[in-house]
Amino acid sequence: MSGLTSTTPIPTGVVLHSKSRVLELQYADGASYRVSFELLRVYSPSAEVQGHGPGQETLQTGKREVTIIGIDPVGHYALQLNFSDGHNTGIYSWDILHDLATRQDALWKDYLARLEAAGVSCDAPMSVKASGGHCH
């Protein structure tokens, strides 16, 4: 897991927008980012999603409609997001959240490329392989 350094941007505000399914991160410099629940879920830093080493990642699908049903602080360095699909093992440190927020476009492109390479739709259930479909 990533850690805090003296340069880690720490949000001054975290706002859950349930209807639009985005988590808004606000920073002291005036920057504000809206990160979709789907992106947060498919890039969860949990071992369930990321595996225990390179090449062990589990491609996430069927997460377009996922919601965040709870947010719990983890010390002074992270948030634990509780998703409507039961996933709650990802610990989102401040640096991970900032990275996801600032690299959203690149992360979506990478996610869609991995889906295409696997021949899977983003909306396919996790255990079913299907083709077609666009996410995001």
Question: In this predicted model, what pLDDT tens digit does every residue of 44-99 receive, in sequence order?
Answer: 999 889 888 777 888 999 999 999 999 999 998 999 999 999 999 999 999 999 99
Mean of all residue pLDDT scores within the chain = 89
Per DSSP, the three-state class of 82 is strand
| pTM exceeding 0.85 | yes
Contacts 24+ apart (CB under 8 A), 106-113: 107/39, 107/43, 108/39, 108/135, 108/136, 111/39, 111/42, 111/43, 111/135, 112/136
b/e map of 48-77 (b: 16 or more CB within 10 Å)? ebeeeeeeeeeebbbbbebebeeeeeeeeb
Q: Is the pLDDT of residue 2 over 70?
A: no
Q: Is the pLDDT of residue 130 over 50?
A: no
Task: Say if residues 59 and 113 touch (Cβ distance below 8 Å).
Answer: no
Task: Say if residues 136 and 65 touch (Cβ distance below 8 Å).
Answer: no
Helix H or strand E encompassing 108:
helix 104-118
Domains identified in the chain and CATH numbers: 13-118 (3.30.2020.30)
Q: What is the pLDDT of residue 133?
A: 43
Q: Is the pLDDT of residue 6 over 60?
A: yes
Q: DSSP class of residue 44?
A: -
The average pLDDT across 16-28 equals 96
